[in-house]
Amino acid sequence: MMQIHKLVFLGLVAFLAAGSVARGQIASPVPSPRGMRIEPITHPISEFRLQFHEGDLHRVVTKEVLKLAMHFPQVDASGARPSIRTSVYSFTETVEKVLPDGSAIIGASLDSFQTGINFGEGKHAENFFRFNSADDWSITHELHDIKVLPRAQFLGHVIRFVMRPDGTIARFLNLDDFHDDAVGHGYAYDMVHAMLSLTDSLRMGQLLEYGMGGMAALNAPYTSPSTATEIPITRTVTSNRDGNNKLKVRASYFDPPQRIEYLEGIATPMGILHFYGGGTGEMAVSNGYLKHSFYQDTANVKLAIDIDTVPEEITRTVTTDVYPIQVLHASKITIREIKSHRAVYKDPNAGEFDSDSTAGAEIRKSPNQH
């Protein structure tokens, strides 16, 4: 009988230890009868923890489709059409430094940017605007348009931030410089609001983070500040595994402000009478880094604009793909100068070269020089 009680006790101890691990905790050593010791179970590095290496480069392509449907009381519902903005960002991201806690300082350079606005959907959609930073005409004639500059202000610049191993943004290191630049140029009121909306840390954090907070929510719900376009909110994210190296992500949005000053091109005070929002997505990692993510969220808002009550539906779809850029690590590169040539200077008043001028001599190296 005593032997049975000991077996039951040992089984109960093993069950409690396993339950502790199942909840995502590391089991502590548990004493057992006759001096036996149940060793703690340790977890391997999670595949959903980013592995940063200094000097690594990645090309990050993010496509954002933002659909706004506003229903003004003066417009017949059958004639109301949504505004759909599609933007494609191509960043080169460099791991500049890995920090002791596993986070990393990332430098993201916006190499190219495209955006377009359509009214309506499907075959009846009308194109309102197009911009492509790779097109000279667009750069010359449209760069400073209010529909472009707020997003294109980062072209050719490096945004530096600290990214945690779970893909969320801890802080920005130089975003304030863009904020100050937007204010200091003396742009019109609506342009300043538009530019400031894109230099907001919540908005840029939403664009640059990996996995929509899904990796941070793997073991417990993750709550953080976020934004629905220019509406600051709080989000709670949950996630669960979906096969090898994949996560399914869900989020709920809440706690919006009572009033905002700007919303996607509308620079006027607006009250928020009602707000409800959330989203779903998925992500995949490969070799310790994000490979692909897709996320769609929706917010239903009731706005008070002047004397009108305006219902609005905001739908945002974001697709991100990350491609590693092959770089040479710990390789020795030798650069050897074979020939050097300096242009010959001609005095416009002399009519011929000055034979005593060293500027008019071609520099040649002896055979023994390299």
Domains of the chain: 2-38 (no CATH), 57-325 (2.30.230)
The more confident residue out of 292 and 33 is 292
Contact 203, 197 (CB under 8 A): yes
Minimum mean pLDDT range among 60-69, 194-203, 257-266? 194-203
Q: What is the reported pTM?
A: 0.71
CA neighbor of 72 nearest in space, from 259, 282, 230, 303: 303
> Band of the pLDDT at 358, cuts 50, 70, 90?
very low
Distance between CA atoms of residues 11 and 33, nearest Å? 12
The proportion of the chain whose per-residue pLDDT surpasses 90, expressed as a percent, equals 41
CA neighbor of 325 nearest in space, from 140, 60, 120, 36: 60
Segment 307-335, tens digit of pLDDT = 888 888 999 999 999 999 987 665 566 66
Segment 53-90, tens digit of pLDDT = 999 999 999 999 999 887 777 666 666 788 899 999 99
Tokens 């057992």 appear where? 32
> Band of the pLDDT at 24, cuts 50, 70, 90?
very low
- Quick check: 361 pLDDT over 80? no
Minimum mean pLDDT range among 97-111, 232-246, 331-345, 351-365? 351-365
What rounded mean pLDDT belongs to the chain? Answer: 78
Rounded to an integer, the average pLDDT of 240-267 is 89
Cβ atoms within 10 A of the Cβ of 181, count?
A: 13
CA neighbor of 102 nearest in space, from 56, 47, 51, 58: 51
End-to-end CA distance of the chain: 91
Quick one: which H or E segment has residue 149?
helix 149-152
Most confident of 135-139, 200-204, 215-219: 215-219
User: What one-character-per-residue DSSP string does 43-110 give?
Assistant: PPPPTTS----TT-EEEEEEEEEEEEEE--TTS-GGG---EEEEEEEEEEEEEEEE-TTS-EEEEEEE
Distance between CA atoms of residues 266 and 16, nearest Å? 57
